[in-house]
Structure 1
Amino acid sequence: MVRVGVDVGGTFTDLILVDESANQINVHKVPSTTHDQSVGVIKGVKELCAISDVAVEDIDDILHGTTVATNITIEGNGAKVGMLTTRNYRDILHIARHKKSENFSIQQSLPWQDNPLVKRRHRLPITEKLQAPDGRIRFPMEEQEVRDNVKKLKAENVDVIIVGFLFSFLNDVHEKRAKEIVNEIWPEVTCFTSSEVAPRIREYERFSTTAMNAFVAPKVNQYIDNLVSSLEEANVQGKLQIMQSSGGMASSEKATMTPMNLLKSGPAGGVLAASWWGELDGIDDVISVDIGGTSADISIIPEKTPRVVNPRDAEVNSYPVITPMLEVDTIGAGGGSIAYVDAGGAFRVGPKSAGSTPGPACYGQGGEDPCVTDANVALGRLDPEQFLGGEIPLHPEKSTEAIQKLADELSMTVEEAAFGILKIINNNMALSIRENSVRKGIDPRNFALLAAGGAGPLHSIDLAETIGSKTVMVPNYPGITASAGLLISDLKYHFNASCIEKLETISEDLVFKLDKQLKELEGQAAGQLMQDGVSEGDIEYERIAECRYMGQGFELRVPIPEGTLTEQSVKEIISGFHLMHQQEYGHHFPENDVELISLDIVATGKTPSFKLPQLEKMERSNPTEAFMYERQTYFEVDGEIKSLATPRYQREKLSANDRITGPASIIQRDSTTIVPPNWEVVVSAHGTLHATQNEEKADKSHNTEKQFTEAVMSDE
């Protein structure tokens, strides 16, 4: 079987090919084509197949992570959306929850008001009303109003129509009928109902999710359709699957039905890969830092389990989106991040990026701004002739010219300015790690830092010193970690049903009703996975009940015991909720009644993964067989910037248990690992680099780490 993982970033498109029959793994990178990502994808697939001596028609699976949906939300260039909604509720998307990030500021921007997903003039009211708590019809829907308003939206030339009625999560009869009328009058337009996109309680979040789905749908679906056509033209006959925000794959057909599930498609693969690599070497607690050309994706992975955002907290650019998402913090910190002096005279780096075009100054494509990559080149940390195996030659003189302008403005030397760029970008990432670990009760000093992305190994050890982490892991293919994560993931779908029930009295009728609802959801999930080619024996189900105390504002997710639901199962759900409430808030109320809000099914279709071969054990110290050459490289030693003779080693020639002491540079096609003085690297059985400080350096840096951690703790 031949499987290809393709992850599109802001600067590079990363690819990995696994050919099980030939027992080979090959990786490749090509510049991303921002005008049409599929162009870079097809180019990369063809080139990687040529490198691997594999015919493109022999590919069985194309697994794809994309930033198309994410980019649409960032750039705000999505579809013109029209909305049909319950009369007197057209302003729900404007009012939201009256919640502001800065409670007392009158100048802050509220995206849902300043840049609404649906403009007010395109939100048209329909006379209809359902009634809580059972969804019975209070006022029938005026079908003529639907017809008239669809014609108005057609005259406005909207791209997509959504239907969002009050209480449709209890009864979707009005939304279904409204969609039928839309299809009758205007069959060419795409129409989504809130009950099919997000059948959950809370009208604002449900409407916002449906609006976001419509906002990204045309461009995402056009991209996927174009990619499918381009793969067919290239004679690639394998199945295309797309990574979802949840960390599960979806068929291309399913992905186009709910494209908002792809909003965190890009970073998800890297998180899965980090967890997998940690488990491979027996490390349970990992901080994944995936540094690419445009951004850095940071994720905390405790106990081998990537954290999932509670749906109530999921959002994209401040718009709530009720969809499963892995917890990833993305910041503007990458190799292309631009360094500058702001209007107040402060030295800053990012979030603006030079991207792949024109790219950093050293690319020689017209870029004149100093970037993080330029700093690494100027300090001798990136060898120009080794970048991407020499395919993209770098121009160090252009890096020096770009940084010189910045240095003159700051009255620094080029080396000081370059180190300043690296320190600022590393500190930005350290602050993000702090936000996602210490503020949530996690001590990052107890976690290994996994360096992913093309720029990850360049920064990881310096970053580890800043946060106090004692171990740095560099996976076999750091530059394409997110692509490798695609090969590890399984097909995964989420199915949800609103089911509001009081659990203080457990009757046979209640148990029967809940069990029937669960089986219906499992049936939907099984039907989708078997349609995707998964056999029934390879399907696993995770069942979740969302519960809260009576009168409480929000619910928590509680696992449902396996097997047919019984009275005892419901009692375990109740006790599980009390325990979850204790873990989340530090207290619980066992005497209070528990209310069930909804049922979730997470259905996983197991798919093949890939295995890393074990390396031959050699136990060499600074092996001459892997030595390439020596070059001057700048490091900060005892507070001073020093140029040190630094040997280069070819990673592909390292064996298990080999040990390399710093200063050193370990070079491979997709990345370069910088090992500072007084750090050392040991190669694991599977080829992962494990970097640790020696005791002398650890003692000297202890005070710095202690000061950083105490400063972090003092903010809590």
Structure 2
Amino acid sequence: MARIGVDVGGTNTDLVLETGAGVFYHKVPTTLKNQSIGVVEGVQGICAMAGIEPGEVETIVHGTTTATNITIEHNGSECGMITSEGFRDILHIGRHKRPHNFSLHFDVPWQSQPLVKRRNRIAVSERILPPTGEIETPLDEQAVRDACALFRKRGIDSVVIGFMFAFLNDAHEQRAREIVLEEMPGAYVTLSSEVANVMREYERFSTAAMNSYVGPKTAFYLRDLEAKLREAGVGSKLRIIQSNGGVSTVEACAKRPVRILMSGPAGGVIGGASEGEMVGTGNVITVDIGGTSADISTIPDHQIKIMNPRDTYVSGHPVLTPMIDLVTIGAGGGSVAYVDEAGGFNVGPRSAGSEPGPACYGRGGTEPTVTDAQIVLGRLDPDMALGGDLQLDAELSRKAVEEMIAKPLGMSVTEAALGIIRIINSNMALAIRSNSVARGVDPREFSIMPFGGAGPLHGVALAEAVSAKEVIVPVAPGITAAVGLLKTDLQYEHTEALVIELRAAGSAEFDRINAAVSALRERVAAELDADGIARAEQHVEVIAECRYHGQGFELRASMPEGPVSDDNVSAITDSFHDQHHLDYGYSYREAEVELITLRAIATAKARKIEIPKVAPTDGSSPDRALMFVRTTTFDDGQTLETPRYDRGKLFAGDVVNGPAILIQHNSTTLVPPGYAAETLAHGNTRIRPLGAV
């Protein structure tokens, strides 16, 4: 049966289709007003390419930026919040930590762009006591009903319920939801204990508020997409990739959209890791450069990293949900270059997107972008974009760069275009260092893997900037994130809060731990049961999130095999000490370790897409793939006659010496002078300095 991966970006929607006849790639413009339209058109188009009917598609795995875009554009739902007396302003106060210690003009997003306005945060009487979760003050049910009346009056239909210590006992939150749904049938309701069942009221409340803020629009999009696919004759299962790299159902993601805030970039990281495995390279720095942003992730020894919970912020708001460790900056093919009021030369983070797009698109855009600079420098051929499907206007690019950059700064058009490229490369190199060098990772031991439609044009320059050992270009760079969607597994996570000092723990504490482990295992297994996954095919892992007594945040530690007891509890503490030493360079082996949270992760293996190998070289010249020769300007200012090669006609083992440009439908690869590009077994390309290949 056929499977499709669909990744929706800010500029293009990328698709990959796997059938018995092979693997097919497709790219269509993103329909920003309603992304589902572009997805359906893309699915129909790629099925036509493969010669199959849409009804033959078994599964569609989707990576979406819908929830992310809501947070960036600040156009989420008007939310109401019901919380404990005395804690109405937790979302405003935050942690009293200055975002920028030495700035007098910094912005505090949770205050300037609150997820729930203060007037819509209603405090009610209730109190649950730590550490046992016993009820001291019953829930004031009439106060909850009064809050609902106020929400109805204000036209609010998305409600957050967050009570103190609900992570120890969620009875009040559950009852409050029942009342809200009685008073406001059809309301979108989020409980803090269901989206972040952990301690720290600010982060827990913020996560719940974010869920309700993005929830209604995200749920509508996912269900609308599912309905439109049905109307188009696509009866396949629709799955959504989550921020942690696992795949979930539409219904689960509609209820907890905080899980998919980083859905879009996650597929790219997984796709990059799998490309590394194909070429036998474990240490990879992925750089996914699309039309709007660049997503950067460091993958050491084939291991995709999960971000520390203290760093999981989205648009300035803390969100306690597992996310793949990556850095996102506003740097892409559509990033706009401009001269600011002080005469400074800037590129991004604002993007022209796909509507109107770069000036060369001829859709009304007049500002120069990175794509326009690439055209001015001859690195992109206007008649070859998307294999000729997208006709670009080189004169519009030249005019935009000249009028907006070159003339104001008193330089030539070529110098201005080179400046745009150098600035955007510098921005991305800084982001790469922040995700590698700043964390103790040496880029000299890593390969840069550029992908996305714009990625391979920047690969060598970025490798030079951070001293990476080589560049690996994936088989289909512009579609790599979509390919990653077909290389991931079903995955669900649930947590249970327990605050226990492990050294002092006795049989009662061990009983609590083991009971919580059993409950968590059953909860995550039930979600896979609902997906039709047999228990024999399910894998459930339980991890302990621990800290030193009094420490601010937790680290993950391994749990022992079987029930926890006095005989094996040291396995948890030893694992925590080891992880702390790995992350921070030191540990305190004699210090008390606290168990704070248990987390269960359930996975079910999915069939992975298999990329076919290309034919090995027959000893003939790579000139069989030569298309034409045109002038191209490189980063050192040289303008050289540069051959273009059809990348699809290169065989495994072929070596193309720079200067050269490798063209394919979904991306273009730049090979500067002094470098050589070698085609690998599956059609991947390794670029190294001449003499190293």
TM-score with structure 1 length normalisation? 0.95
1:619 and 1:266 map into 2 onto residues whose CA distance is: 40
Q: Does 1:652 align with 2:648?
A: yes
**What is the DSSP-based 3-state SS (H/G/I as helix, E as strand, rest coil) of the residue aligned with 2:602?**
strand
Contact 2:79 2:212 in 1 (8 A): yes
Q: Hey, what does 1:273 align to over in structure 2?
A: 271
Q: Does 1:690 align with 2:689?
A: no
How far did residue 181 of structure 1 move? 0.9
Deviations 1:628-653 (A, max 9, x none): 111111124xx4x2221111111111
Q: Hey, what does 1:350 align to over in structure 2?
A: 348
Q: Hey, what does 1:537 align to over in structure 2?
A: 536
1:692 and 1:330 map into 2 onto residues whose CA distance is: 26
Deviations 1:20-57 (A, max 9, x none): x22x1110110001100001000111011101101000
1:561 and 1:28 map into 2 onto residues whose CA distance is: 46
Q: Does 1:376 align with 2:368?
A: no
2:625 and 2:254 map into 1 onto residues whose CA distance is: 47
How far did residue 411 of structure 1 move? 1.3
Q: Hey, what does 2:196 align to over in structure 1?
A: 198
**What is the DSSP-based 3-state SS (H/G/I as helix, E as strand, rest coil) of the residue aligned with 2:6?**
strand
Letter matched to residue 655 of structure 1: F
Q: Hey, what does 1:4 align to over in structure 2?
A: 4
**What is the DSSP-based 3-state SS (H/G/I as helix, E as strand, rest coil) of the residue aligned with 1:567?**
coil
Q: Does 1:492 align with 2:491?
A: yes
1:588 and 1:625 map into 2 onto residues whose CA distance is: 59
Letter matched to residue 270 of structure 1: G
2:410 and 2:375 map into 1 onto residues whose CA distance is: 21
Deviations 1:570-614 (A, max 9, x none): 210011112222222322222222111110011111111111222
Correspondence for 2:235 among 234, 237, 245: 237
Letter matched to residue 36 of structure 1: N
2:239 and 2:108 map into 1 onto residues whose CA distance is: 35
Please give the residue correspondences for 1:453-532 in structure 2 after superposition, counting only pairs within 5 Å: 453-532=452-531
Instruction: Give the stretch that moved more between structures: 56-65 or 130-139.
Output: 130-139
How far did residue 448 of structure 1 move? 0.1
How far did residue 533 of structure 1 move? 2.0
Letter matched to residue 372 of structure 2: D
**What is the DSSP-based 3-state SS (H/G/I as helix, E as strand, rest coil) of the residue aligned with 1:435?**
helix
Q: 1:416 to 1:79 in 2, by over 3 A?
A: same
Letter matched to residue 666 of structure 2: D
Q: Hey, what does 1:410 align to over in structure 2?
A: 409
Q: Hey, what does 1:703 align to over in structure 2?
A: none
**What is the DSSP-based 3-state SS (H/G/I as helix, E as strand, rest coil) of the residue aligned with 1:518?**
helix
Correspondence for 1:90 among 84, 88, 91: 88
Letter matched to residue 295 of structure 2: D
Provide structure 2 residue ranges, at least 5 long, that are not aligned to the other structure: none
How far did residue 622 of structure 1 move? 4.9
Deviations 1:307-340 (A, max 9, x none): 1111232110110000000011111111111111
**What is the DSSP-based 3-state SS (H/G/I as helix, E as strand, rest coil) of the residue aligned with 2:333?**
coil
2:423 and 2:377 map into 1 onto residues whose CA distance is: 15
Letter matched to residue 125 of structure 2: T
2:130 and 2:447 map into 1 onto residues whose CA distance is: 50
Deviations 1:256-294 (A, max 9, x none): 110111100000000001111111111111010011011
1:152 and 1:424 map into 2 onto residues whose CA distance is: 51
Q: Hey, what does 2:170 align to over in structure 1?
A: 172
Letter matched to residue 674 of structure 1: L
Letter matched to residue 540 of structure 1: H
2:105 and 2:681 map into 1 onto residues whose CA distance is: 56
Correspondence for 2:393 among 386, 392, 395: 395
Deviations 1:417-451 (A, max 9, x none): 11111111111100111111111111112110001
1:196 and 1:61 map into 2 onto residues whose CA distance is: 28
**What is the DSSP-based 3-state SS (H/G/I as helix, E as strand, rest coil) of the residue aligned with 1:352?**
strand
Contact 1:621 1:659 in 2 (8 A): no
Letter matched to residue 369 of structure 1: E
Q: CA-atom RMSD, angstroms?
A: 1.4
2:505 and 2:91 map into 1 onto residues whose CA distance is: 38
Deviations 1:385-413 (A, max 9, x none): 11001111011111111111121111111
Q: Hey, what does 2:357 align to over in structure 1?
A: 359
Deviations 1:473-517 (A, max 9, x none): 111100011100000011111110011112113434433332221
Contact 1:655 1:683 in 2 (8 A): yes
Q: Does 1:665 align with 2:661?
A: yes
How far did residue 566 of structure 1 move? 4.1
Correspondence for 2:108 among 83, 107, 110: 110
Letter matched to residue 12 of structure 2: F
How far did residue 620 of structure 1 move? 4.3
Please give the residue correspondences for 1:247-396 in structure 2 after superposition, counting only pairs within 5 Å: 247-396=245-394
Provide structure 1 residue ranges, at least 5 long, that are not aligned to the other structure: 699-716
Contact 1:491 1:605 in 2 (8 A): yes
1:657 and 1:137 map into 2 onto residues whose CA distance is: 70
**Number of paired residues?**
692
Q: Does 1:123 align with 2:159?
A: no
1:616 and 1:11 map into 2 onto residues whose CA distance is: 33
Q: Does 1:36 align with 2:34?
A: yes
1:470 and 1:444 map into 2 onto residues whose CA distance is: 8
Contact 1:498 1:598 in 2 (8 A): yes
Letter matched to residue 17 of structure 1: L
**What is the DSSP-based 3-state SS (H/G/I as helix, E as strand, rest coil) of the residue aligned with 2:569?**
helix
Contact 1:499 1:597 in 2 (8 A): yes
Letter matched to residue 27 of structure 1: Y
1:29 and 1:346 map into 2 onto residues whose CA distance is: 35
TM-score with structure 2 length normalisation? 0.98
2:500 and 2:79 map into 1 onto residues whose CA distance is: 35
Identity over aligned pairs, percent: 48
1:451 and 1:589 map into 2 onto residues whose CA distance is: 40
Q: Does 1:429 align with 2:425?
A: no
How far did residue 552 of structure 1 move? 2.3
2:565 and 2:656 map into 1 onto residues whose CA distance is: 59
Letter matched to residue 211 of structure 2: N
1:219 and 1:472 map into 2 onto residues whose CA distance is: 39
1:614 and 1:388 map into 2 onto residues whose CA distance is: 23
Contact 1:534 1:606 in 2 (8 A): no
Contact 1:619 1:658 in 2 (8 A): no
How far did residue 188 of structure 1 move? 2.2
Letter matched to residue 51 of structure 2: D
**What is the DSSP-based 3-state SS (H/G/I as helix, E as strand, rest coil) of the residue aligned with 2:285?**
strand
1:104 and 1:644 map into 2 onto residues whose CA distance is: 47
Contact 2:31 2:37 in 1 (8 A): yes
Q: 1:309 to 1:91 in 2, by over 3 A?
A: same
Letter matched to residue 224 of structure 1: L
Q: Hey, what does 1:707 align to over in structure 2?
A: none
Contact 1:619 1:657 in 2 (8 A): no
Letter matched to residue 15 of structure 2: L
**What is the DSSP-based 3-state SS (H/G/I as helix, E as strand, rest coil) of the residue aligned with 2:594?**
strand
Please give the residue correspondences for 1:70-85 in structure 2 after superposition, counting only pairs within 5 Å: 70-85=68-83
Deviations 1:1-24 (A, max 9, x none): 2000000001000000000x22x1
